[in-house]
Structure 1
Amino acid sequence: MKDIIKIIKEIFSSRRVVLRIAKYNNDQAYRNNYLGDFWHFADPALQIGVMLFMFAMRMGDNYKNPHAHGIQGYVAWIALGMITYFFMQSSMTKSANSIKRQLNLLAKMNFALSAIPLTEIITELRRYFVMLGMVMFLILFTDVKPTIWWFQFIYYFIAMIIFLYALSLVTSTITVLVPDFYNAYVAILRVGMWLSGVIIPIDGPAFPIVISNILKINPLYYIIEGFRETLLENPQGFWEKPSDIIVFWGIVIILLIVGSHIHIRFRNRFIDFV
């Protein structure tokens, strides 16, 4: 617990620098392109368009998805799941390699190493919000109407950010200590979309109950399904599923404890491993 408190203090004291670095990363992303920030909109729009064409048009039958009604419902369902997963996948990939990639530069600065993974997560938020805005616009063309339950989105968003950072503390440290870990981690994330209920509902008829219950332990599924229930389906309060809350936050707390401990223990020796 002492390690977690120390990490939280470091993040709080570095918050302004984290935001500046994230802004700098976004500004540099398309600096040499004539259209500049336009690609922050064009690139996500192209991704969503291709995804919907490849999956929604072929898999939009009602009987395959008990959560979506008709092709419009399925388009919104799959688009919301995909942008959430792509944001988490990109954040997890970049944050895992963040300390190793920037250590030589940031080691010379008065900047907490524990805040480096967070800069990558925040950097990805601009793209995520652009894609989320597109999907929200798409949802308005379905039968779904905005309700007060949409404010529950805030809970799942905060849960997503905390989970991503807790995981990044573990993965960014292990990536420095064990170089082969990063390649294996990226390979797992490539198939994670199929195990997180993004394309096919894991509580549908395609999955046996035992396998479905195991896959539901995945924190990514908890977040993706939470967004879908909040914005698309008949919503229910997140507090109405206490077992899911216990499992998700239990995993997050374990990641925070382990990640904080190994990060603080080894960070003074990071430069030796790199």
Structure 2
Amino acid sequence: MQVFKMFLNFLGELLKNRHIICELTLADFKKKYLGSYLGILWAFVHPAVYIAVVWFVFQIGFNSQPMANVPFVLWMLTAIIPWFFFSECLQSATTSILENSFLLKKMVFSIGILPLIKIFSALIIHFFFITVIFIMFMVYGYPPSLYNIQVFYYLFCTIMLLLGLSWLTSSLTLFLRDTGQIVTMILQLAFWMTPIFWSTAKLSPKTLNFIKLNPLYYIVEGYRESFIYKTWFWEKHYMLTLYFWCFTLFFFFMGALVFRRLRPHFADVA
């Protein structure tokens, strides 16, 4: 009952502060690239150049064969774009409270929305690259289908997972400054444990079950199911869906609980 009440309070807080959240999200997005000649264009240039380089190395250099009956670049795009979003959000949200420590003594300001602002800021870029996925599939002769709308379900899954993890990491960062480095290290490990550039087709059932413990597997495969495999999430992976949501809700409420318990001490250690 207390957990449900906590969730309702969080939703109420979002609605109450929706105008502040929108303003701070836009301000955060602009601040990242303030002073550079290209400005906010760098937000799109960096990942676009990385994708182009990866495509050239694997498609041209290694002459990679089609995966799941689609060109390798499409197979790779549907995985690396959600990974970029998750990685960028978690790293920036982890330091969100530390970067805005001057707000800690302003009791009228809800500190809990700071990680969410980082997520929404990255979401602007992510929507652009979701559009890129649609365009690339049409360029290669794959028209949009009803299955594509499922990508927004997986995007919601990603945001829920990020929110819980970022509440946890952002609050711990104030007490343990090495948290950011630990998060970076875990992300590097998770990158290679997620089937972004490699396929799970030849893995043994035991190894595949281990890989599925990584929640990013569910999200990455979900994006591919939305664009490539044309499968609804409830058709094949109901047990994996159940596992993902148990994992996500556990960290959502644990992150909220840790944040709530440590919040009174933030100003003392910032």
Tell me the secondary structure at the aligned position of residue 232 of structure 1. Answer: helix
What's the counterpart of residue 251 of structure 1?
247
> Offset at 1:106?
4.8
| CA spacing shift, 1:6–1:59, aligned 2, 3 Å | farther
Which region of structure 1 is more displaced relative to structure 2, 119-128 or 136-145? 136-145
Q: Pairwise mapping of residues 117-266 of structure 1 onto structure 2 (< 5 A)?
A: 117-201=115-199, 203-205=200-202, 207-233=203-229, 235-240=230-235, 241-266=237-262
What's the counterpart of residue 64 of structure 2?
60
CA distance in 1, matches of 2:259, 2:64: 45
The answer on whether the counterparts of 2:160 and 2:252 sit within 8 Å (CA) in structure 1 is no
The answer on whether the counterparts of 1:144 and 1:232 sit within 8 Å (CA) in structure 2 is no
Tell me the secondary structure at the aligned position of residue 174 of structure 1. Answer: helix
Tell me the secondary structure at the aligned position of residue 9 of structure 1. Answer: helix
- Equivalent pairs counted in the alignment come to 265
The answer on whether the counterparts of 1:4 and 1:260 sit within 8 Å (CA) in structure 2 is no
What's the counterpart of residue 36 of structure 2?
33
The answer on whether the counterparts of 1:170 and 1:262 sit within 8 Å (CA) in structure 2 is yes
CA distance in 2, matches of 1:47, 1:184: 24
> Offset at 1:179?
2.1
| CA spacing shift, 1:101–1:37, aligned 2, 3 Å | closer
1:111 to 109, 112, 119: 109
The answer on whether the counterparts of 2:104 and 2:267 sit within 8 Å (CA) in structure 1 is no
CA distance in 1, matches of 2:23, 2:149: 28
The answer on whether the counterparts of 1:40 and 1:130 sit within 8 Å (CA) in structure 2 is no
Tell me the secondary structure at the aligned position of residue 161 of structure 1. Answer: helix
| CA spacing shift, 1:106–1:136, aligned 2, 3 Å | farther
Q: TM-score, normalised by structure 2?
A: 0.90
The answer on whether the counterparts of 1:44 and 1:130 sit within 8 Å (CA) in structure 2 is no
1:217-262 Cα distance to aligned partner (Å, 9 max, x none): 22111111111111122x1221222101110110111012211111
1:10 to 10, 13, 31: 13
| CA spacing shift, 1:119–1:59, aligned 2, 3 Å | farther
Q: Give the residue type in structure 2 aligned to 1:237.
A: W
Gaps of 5+ in 1: none
Tell me the secondary structure at the aligned position of residue 100 of structure 2. Answer: helix
Q: TM-score, normalised by structure 1?
A: 0.89
Gaps of 5+ in 2: none
Q: Give the residue type in structure 2 aligned to 1:121.
A: I
> Offset at 1:162?
1.4
Q: CA RMSD in A?
A: 1.9
The answer on whether the counterparts of 2:103 and 2:109 sit within 8 Å (CA) in structure 1 is no
The answer on whether the counterparts of 1:176 and 1:270 sit within 8 Å (CA) in structure 2 is yes
Tell me the secondary structure at the aligned position of residue 140 of structure 1. Answer: helix
4+ aligned runs moved over 4 Å, structure 1? none
